[in-house]
């Protein structure tokens, strides 16, 4: 067997030297390569080299998303020989995820494939961590601009023999004399460069002051307005917003997949990873540090500025993401009674978190509530303000971790529900996130059972175009297709596919399991039929059932049998077809005109907290006053959950779903 292994020496206790082998791995199509020690998995190597591979289960070999192809042969340009003999043998666990054709072509699961020789690996399109598309329609919100950071342009008197005050004292004295700011301190990184900065433009400087307490940046001359960034750190997606701290203007926005996805699709998988690996928590935090820093560089670069001009940042997230991002021990938030390390709002220097913006900048973390209901839910409440409303609002923040709020100015309740990642494309055979190539809209003819669908990035619907370039189906499409399958009579109230229908769209796979063909292979970019399986339908039922039961429990605790308004929050929530969502029974019956999508309310709340420091006090107040309800401990939870799995529900009525409404 031909190898080009590198040799690294390790000294054993016996006093002997043993040569530990390392091998070269090349990932295609990115071309990323590196040396890795023998025995490391392909997934671990990809994570180290920054190659994005989906790993929904955190590398446990149960999701089947980390599909790769081990290439066979001599690659002269790469100087490598690669093949199946250079990796560990495939086990039965892997084989169930692939067809016979795929097995013959060298398909493996990256998390279960250990490297034993030089390797060339292809990451198929469906396995790549793709760039997210933030789908949001948004809602106009009005509030006063009052940031924590304020800027002052001042002229200092030059020192003389008669006035030989030190530079720091001179700056603080002028700020007190001209701006009335007393008792200020100067952050150490600012002090280091202060002498040069003051003299660069004849003692004319622009000073950034945080909370009227601390000088955090000094620029020579009249500097542009301070910048601030608000980030909604979701389990799946990061949504970032760059703002002018003086005018409040949104200057740029960006998004990316949460890089921690490679360590687990959901928070429990990531907590398990952190607990199972000595440096697991550090890796999760480092991945987030890099992602946030890259977003800051990307957005400031788009407007011709630099990250060093970002004077404050506000972060919102669920409780687990809060702990990962801040480097807090996360093991206890994953165990009953789910006590967090800290729940109050925190102010931390950017340099202490390893975020590459102004090192003296403050990073404000909104408070978390309880359990897995975190700062992102506080941000949603800050944006929607149900606590100032006369009408009772049901707010559903749809994501991998569903959060539900119910109430008005009299009382406010909240809960979390384990929706899982199905509604965001994971746990679905051809599921993917909202990105170009994802099927986002579906209609099914109830007479012919033929579908019409629309793909992100295409203006036309199939069959108006013969090649759609479809790669999979995203959350909004998943809701649509299950609702349409039910409406067309293809699935029953229990969600079972009727295999007796006379249509080639309904068939059984090679294991005898029913599926519906949404797109034939020639229409797609993945060159295979895109199907909706019985398992996919069940995953959607589990997710929608969890949301429904959570909402109903809150309604009962509140003492009401209907709500005045339903608000679907989240970038994903803003693109749900509300008729499809109600047809599935995702939320209790409500007049459709009273159901509205508000876009990324958590991101909006983060921006509000960034641009108005007084709103942070409001956030702290509501976080302590909202009543958290743990629904999963209710004695009849399991019974009610099973009832909610039916489409739309086993018992509850939906009068607004009468013919013509849905």
The pLDDT value given to residue 632: 77
The pLDDT value given to residue 571: 63
Read off φ and ψ for residue 335, nearest 5 degrees: -125, 145
The pLDDT value given to residue 567: 92
| Domain 149-220 -> CATH class | alpha beta
Q: What angle do CA 308, 310, 316 make, to 5 degrees?
A: 130
Contact yes or no for 329/280 (Cβ under 8 A): no
Q: How many CB atoms lie within 10 A of CB 344?
A: 12
The pLDDT value given to residue 331: 83
> Interhelix angle for 267-276 vs 319-326, to 10°?
40
The pLDDT value given to residue 241: 96
Beta bridge partners of 74: 81
How long a stretch of residues is the chain? 662
The pLDDT value given to residue 56: 65
Q: What are the angstrom distances between the C-alpha of 145 and each of 193, 383, 392?
A: 30, 15, 28
What residues does each domain of the chain span?
A: 6-127, 149-220, 229-365, 384-421+545-653
The pLDDT value given to residue 138: 53
The pLDDT value given to residue 373: 77
* CATH topology match: 6-127 vs 384-421+545-653: no
The pLDDT value given to residue 273: 87
> Interhelix angle for 375-384 vs 614-625, to 10°?
110
Parts of the chain with a pLDDT under 70: 1-20, 30, 56, 77, 125, 129-140, 265, 371-372, 421, 424-426, 571-574, 659-662
Look up the CATH number of domain 229-365.
Answer: 3.30.420.480
| Domain 384-421+545-653 -> CATH class | alpha beta
Instruction: In whole angstroms, give the CA distance from residue 170 to residue 190.
Output: 14
Q: Residues 171-212: pLDDT tens digits?
A: 999 999 999 999 999 999 999 999 999 999 999 999 999 999
This prediction has a pTM of 0.76
The pLDDT value given to residue 424: 67
The pLDDT value given to residue 64: 82
Contact yes or no for 328/322 (Cβ under 8 A): yes
Q: Residues 228-260: pLDDT tens digits?
A: 999 999 887 889 999 999 999 999 999 887 888
The pLDDT value given to residue 139: 60
Q: What are the angstrom distances between the C-alpha of 646 and each of 237, 312, 514, 640?
A: 30, 47, 18, 11
The pLDDT value given to residue 425: 65
Beta strands at 595-599 and 451-455: parallel, antiparallel or unpaired: unpaired
Q: Residues 91-143: pLDDT tens digits?
A: 888 888 888 888 888 999 999 999 999 999 988 867 776 544 444 445 667 78
Counting DSSP H helices and E strands in the chain, the numbers are 16, 31
6-127 CATH fold:
Ubiquitin-like (UB roll) (3.10.20)
Instruction: In whole angstroms, give the CA distance from residue 107 to residue 99.
Output: 9
Contact yes or no for 315/295 (Cβ under 8 A): no
């Amino acid at each position: 067997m031909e190898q080009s292994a590198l040799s690294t020496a390790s000294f054993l206790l016996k006093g002997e030297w043993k040569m530990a082998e390392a091998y070269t791995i090349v990932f295609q199509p990115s071309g990323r390569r590196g040396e890795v020690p023998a025995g490391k998995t392909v997934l671990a190597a990809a994570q180290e080299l920054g190659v994005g591979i989906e790993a929904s289960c955190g590398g446990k070999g149960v999701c089947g998303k980390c599909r790769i192809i081990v290439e066979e042969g001599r690659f002269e340009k790469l100087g490598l020989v690669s093949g199946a003999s250079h990796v560990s043998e495939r086990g039965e666990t892997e084989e169930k995820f692939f067809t016979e054709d795929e097995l013959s072509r060298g398909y493996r699961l990256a998390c279960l494939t250990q490297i034993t020789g030089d390797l060339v690996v292809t990451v198929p399109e469906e396995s790549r961590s793709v760039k997210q598309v933030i789908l949001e329609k948004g809602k106009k919100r009005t509030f006063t601009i009052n940031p924590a950071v304020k800027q002052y342009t001042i002229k200092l008197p030059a020192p003389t023999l008669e006035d030989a005050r030190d530079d720091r004292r001179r700056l603080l004295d002028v700020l007190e004399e001209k701006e009335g700011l007393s008792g200020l301190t100067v952050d150490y990184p600012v002090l280091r460069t202060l002498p040069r900065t003051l003299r660069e433009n004849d003692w004319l400087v622009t000073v950034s002051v945080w909370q009227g307490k601390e000088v955090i940046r000094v620029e020579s001359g009249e500097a542009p307005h301070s910048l601030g960034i608000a980030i909604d750190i979701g389990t799946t997606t990061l949504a970032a917003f760059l703002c002018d701290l003086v005018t409040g203007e949104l200057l740029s926005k960006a998004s990316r997949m949460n890089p921690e996805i490679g360590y687990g699709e959901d928070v429990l998988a990531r907590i398990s990873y952190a607990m199972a690996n000595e440096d697991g928590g550090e890796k999760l935090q480092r991945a987030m540090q890099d992602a946030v820093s890259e977003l800051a560089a990307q957005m400031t670069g788009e407007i011709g500025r630099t990250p060093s001009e970002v004077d404050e940042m506000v972060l919102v997230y669920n409780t687990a993401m809060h702990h990962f991002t801040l480097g807090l021990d996360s093991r206890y938030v994953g165990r009953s009674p789910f006590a967090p390390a800290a729940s109050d709002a925190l102010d931390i220097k950017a340099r202490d978190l390893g975020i590459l913006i102004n090192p003296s900048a403050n990073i404000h973390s909104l408070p978390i509530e309880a359990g897995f209901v975190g700062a992102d839910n506080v941000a949603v409440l800050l944006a929607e303000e149900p606590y100032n409303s006369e009408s009772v609002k049901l707010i559903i923040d749809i994501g991998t971790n569903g959060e539900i709020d119910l109430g008005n100015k009299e009382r406010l309740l909240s809960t979390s529900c384990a929706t899982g990642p199905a509604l965001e494309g994971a746990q679905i055979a051809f599921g993917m996130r909202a990105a170009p190539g994802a099927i986002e809209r579906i209609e099914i003819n109830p007479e012919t059972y033929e579908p019409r669908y629309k793909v992100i990035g295409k203006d036309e619907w199939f069959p108006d175009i013969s090649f759609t370039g479809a790669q999979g189906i995203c959350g909004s499409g998943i809701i649509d297709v299950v609702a349409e399958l039910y409406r067309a009579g293809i699935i029953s109230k229990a969600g079972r596919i009727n295999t007796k229908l006379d249509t080639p769209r309904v068939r059984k796979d090679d294991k005898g399991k029913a599926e519906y063909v949404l797109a034939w292979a020639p229409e797609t970019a993945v060159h295979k039929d895109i199907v909706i399986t019985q398992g996919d339908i069940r995953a959607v039922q589990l997710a929608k059932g969890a949301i429904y039961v959570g909402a109903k429990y809150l309604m009962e605790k509140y003492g009401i049998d209907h709500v005045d308004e339903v608000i679907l929050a989240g970038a994903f929530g803003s693109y749900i077809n509300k008729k499809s969502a109600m047809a599935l029974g995702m939320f209790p019956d409500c007049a459709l005109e009273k159901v509205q999508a508000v876009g990324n309310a958590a991101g909006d709340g983060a921006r509000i907290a960034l641009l108005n420091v007084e709103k942070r006090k409001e956030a702290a107040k509501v976080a302590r006053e909202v009543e958290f309800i743990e629904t999963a401990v209710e004695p009849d939870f399991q019974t009610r959950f099973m009832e909610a799995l039916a489409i739309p529900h086993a018992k509850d009525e939906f009068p607004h779903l009468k013919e013509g409404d849905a």
